[in-house]
Copies of this chain bind each other. A is one copy, B any other.
Amino acid sequence: MWFRVDPRSPTPVYRQVVEGVKEAVAKGVLASGERMPSVRELAARMTLNHNTVARAYQELVREGVIEVVQGRGAFVSPRPPPLDRERRVAALLAALRPVVREARYLEMEDEEVVDLVRRALADWRQGRGGEGA
């Protein structure tokens, strides 16, 4: 599969599936319009409960990552339209809050934080951004 799931992680399994799929899309492993495996197929392949995978798919639909066509299966969505994107950028900004808070607690300089971000971006590119939640 394009990602792994750790049942011992504190992040719910269904959430890990959601993130795993998004990551696969981000990395181009799953292309726009590509057909997703069925809920039961993915569940079988990853030895997960199909209810768990179903819930993940629901969430992915809600987040606009995939689309379900009646009786024909699920497909990777085209990239979200600009408006939606704005909302996501806002979400990203919100996601940065705990990071900034911790950085401030550690009395890090702005540039130190920025350097760390660049490093995180580079890590990802080198494929080292592979697992975990």
Sample of 15 A–B contacts (CB below 8 Å): A8-B67, A8-B68, A22-B102, A65-B105, A80-B106, A88-B106, A91-B102, A92-B103, A93-B116, A93-B123, A95-B102, A98-B133, A101-B129, A110-B121, A113-B121
A residues adjacent to B (C-beta < 8 A): 7-8, 12-13, 19, 22-23, 25-27, 65, 67-70, 72, 79-80, 85, 88-89, 91-108, 110, 113-114, 116-121, 123-124, 129, 132-133
Chain B residues with CB below 8 A from A118, complex form: 110, 114
Copy total for this chain? 4
- For A49, give the chain B residue with the smallest CB separation: B71
Q: Indicate the member of A7, A89, A97, A107 with the most B CB atoms within 10 Å.
A: A97
